[in-house]
Structure 1
Amino acid sequence: MVSDAERAAFDQDGVVCLRNVLTDGEVDHLRQAVTGQMSRLGHSTTGYDFEALARQVWDEGETVETGCANRFDMQAMKTQVRSDTAARPLLEEDPVSGTGPFFYDVAAWQHDRGVRRVAFDSALPEIAASLLDAHYLNFWEDTTFVKAPHTRQKTAFHQDLAYLQIEGDQCVIVWIPLDAASLGNGVTQYVRGSHKWNSVFAPNVFVSQTPIGSSPERRCPDIEAAPGAYDIISFDVEPGDVIVHHVLTVHGAGGNTSDTWRRAMSFRYCGDRVRYLDRPGAIPQVGMSHRLQDGDRLFSADYPLVWPKPWPGFRLAEAFDAQRPGHARSRMR
């Protein structure tokens, strides 16, 4: 399912764009899941509007308000950003003033059967396993990123490894556009070959380059200040296409200066050489029930084994649902 040329591009560049991977039905499952997530903004414990948060961060006298969302301590984040002498707003130039959301949410797979069907039973697990040369593959998590038309907020360049409670770099992130995406509406951009820099960078807070304070890793380079000094690439994509990048590839995104939405979901897959690591500074996951210790394989219902399949045509999402009676209300979106 992955050509030799595509595999070579991934190995060399740390990112590859694959065309027509998902069906219309699979894309629609994810769109409906995102619509549901956005409808719960303010009432969800995991959904945030980073555009609003950025305005609150840079307004010294404003209190950070996140509704019911509690995954992050955003007031502490504001304090941290404002104490960072190198921090500055990361806003796209746009003659049209917009206030639409930069929406973020996570872990839709835990409650949405449609997302599980795409994450577990689409072409993606086999593709990820092929690119990683993995003997088996665990699904780690999904994340949703939506930028409304004329959302000026950029996504700071960052590297994914230090956000995750893992040891080892046999991991890929699959970026799935749910609308046509290009530089004009904020498609993800990648620093070609950065997965070979032999560096791990501290996670940042997305709306600023400020590192998360508890991470021992060093700060990601200020790529926004001198983009011409780096080999930055991007891909114009349509729904059904996917962009796969290595967990060490540095990437970011501009704002959305267009009149169209830019909805996307990303999936994370880990290969057999990855081990669990309660990494300082990693973002806390939601809904976890495992008791894994540092050095353990990711053998847990929290990290479903999605490849290889026991036989052709096996539908893992259906088997997974049958084993989770507490999730009988899972929606087929």
Structure 2
Amino acid sequence: MPRSVTWSSEERRRFVDDGVLIRRGLVHGAVLSKARDLVDGWLNAAYDPARLTAYTERSFAPELEEHPDLLALYGRSGLEELARDLLRPATAAPVTRAQIQVRLPHSAQQPVKAMHVDGVSCPHLEPRDLRTFTFIVGVVLNGSATADAGALHYVPGGHHRMARYFATDWTLGQPAQTPDDIDAQDGTAFTAEPGDVIVMHHLIPHRVGTNTSSTPRVMAYFRVSHAQHPDLALKALSDPWLEYPALAALARPGTV
């Protein structure tokens, strides 16, 4: 397998420690431009301002989530190979849809996303719904590479804290998604150019703020799950390496 679609030992160690990996410029050329043009076209022709909250909570361009030009960001850029490499020797379930998130410039009406972990008592879900995954892959399609331009903010190493929280201070069905010490953090901004990619452990707490630039910040996300995730999901909340057989050996004792 080419080096460009594998993780180095240093990157694997970083993922264990920080729960986040970044690849700059991985997606490029026609794969990137077709996806960007598709979303831009939807924003210009099909975006409904009355549905802004629903888009923000779930996905913009929901009718395009299975479009080949969006799925190509994952399947034709090297991302699929990177995803498989992170989980091996376990296998990943097929990724069949994309989520589009847009932070519109200077939109006071767009909800601000506080620190959270996806799929655990989300505001738009029933309290007892658990819709988690193993890790998420995000591709920047458009936007300014500044922290105040609607960037994703994440807490490096926060997966260790969240695993302890889920093991000791959380019960299935409670509304609170993150502990107070995580809620109080601003997080590290993913300052990035179109084509840059972020891979983030499911347990990494993150938020998204307002966009003060003049350009929409557009991200395409792909949720990647271990093939047996439905059976492992609840236990994986307190055992961050349950679904990563090769990485479990790298996790230092006492980190979770």
Taking a change above 3 Å as real, the CA distance of residues 137 and 220 of structure 1, as seen in their structure-2 partners, is same
2-structure distance, mates of 1:16, 1:186: 20
Structure 1 alignment gaps of length 5 or more: 51-65, 73-102, 202-213, 280-333
Q: How does 1:25-44 map to 2 (within 5 A)?
A: 25-38=30-43, 39-42=45-48
1:48 to 36, 48, 51: 51
Of 206, 210, 220 in structure 1, the residue corresponding to residue 178 of structure 2 is 220
Question: Residue 19 of structure 1: which of 10, 18, 24 is its match?
Answer: 24
In the comparison of the two structures, how many residue pairs are matched?
Answer: 210
1:145 aligns with 2:150: no
For residues 12-37 of structure 1, the C-alpha deviation after alignment (integer angstroms, 9 at most, x for no partner) is 11111111211221111221232344
Q: Distance in 1 between matches of 2:60 and 2:181?
A: 23
TM-score (norm 1): 0.54
Q: Structure 2: where are the runs of 5+ without partners?
A: 1-5, 123-128, 235-256
- Work out whether residues 140 and 269 of structure 1, in 8 Å CA contact, stay in contact via their aligned partners in 2: no
Partner deviation per Cα, 1:178-199 (whole Å, 9 max, x = no partner): 1243212021011121212213
Q: 1:121 corresponds to which residue?
A: 76
1:254-265 paired onto structure 2 within 5 Å: 254-265=209-220
CA separation of 1:151 and 1:29: change in aligned 2, threshold 3 A: same
Larger radius of gyration: 1
Percent of aligned pairs sharing the same letter: 26
Following TM superposition, by how much is the alpha carbon of 1:109 offset from its aligned partner in structure 2, in angstroms?
Answer: 3.6
Deviations 1:115-163 (A, max 9, x none): 1222323211111122233532221642111122223442221101426
Match of 2:60 in 1: 104
For the residues of structure 2 that align with 1:161 and 1:31, how far apart are their CA atoms?
26
- CA change 1:217–1:150 in 2 (3 A) is closer
Q: How does 1:165-244 map to 2 (within 5 A)?
A: 171-179=134-142, 180-197=144-161, 198=163, 199-200=165-166, 215-216=173-174, 218-222=176-180, 226-227=184-185, 232-244=187-199
Change (3 A) 1:109 1:227: closer
Q: How do 1:281-300 and structure 2 match up within 5 A?
A: none
Q: Between Structure 1 and Structure 2, which shows a larger proportion of helix residues?
A: 2
Determine if contact 2:24/2:197 at 8 Å carries over to the other structure.
yes
Deviates more, 1:255-264 or 1:158-167: 158-167
Maintained 8 Å contact 2:71/2:96: no
Greater RCO, 1 or 2 (C-alpha within 8 Å, sep 6+): 2
Match of 1:253 among 208, 211, 216: 208
Query: Cα RMSD between the aligned structures?
Result: 3.3
Q: Partners of 2:16 and 2:62 in 1: how far apart?
A: 28
Alignment of 1:52-91 (within 5 A): none
The answer to whether the 8 A contact 1:165-1:276 is kept is no
Q: So what's the TM-score if we normalise by structure 2?
A: 0.69
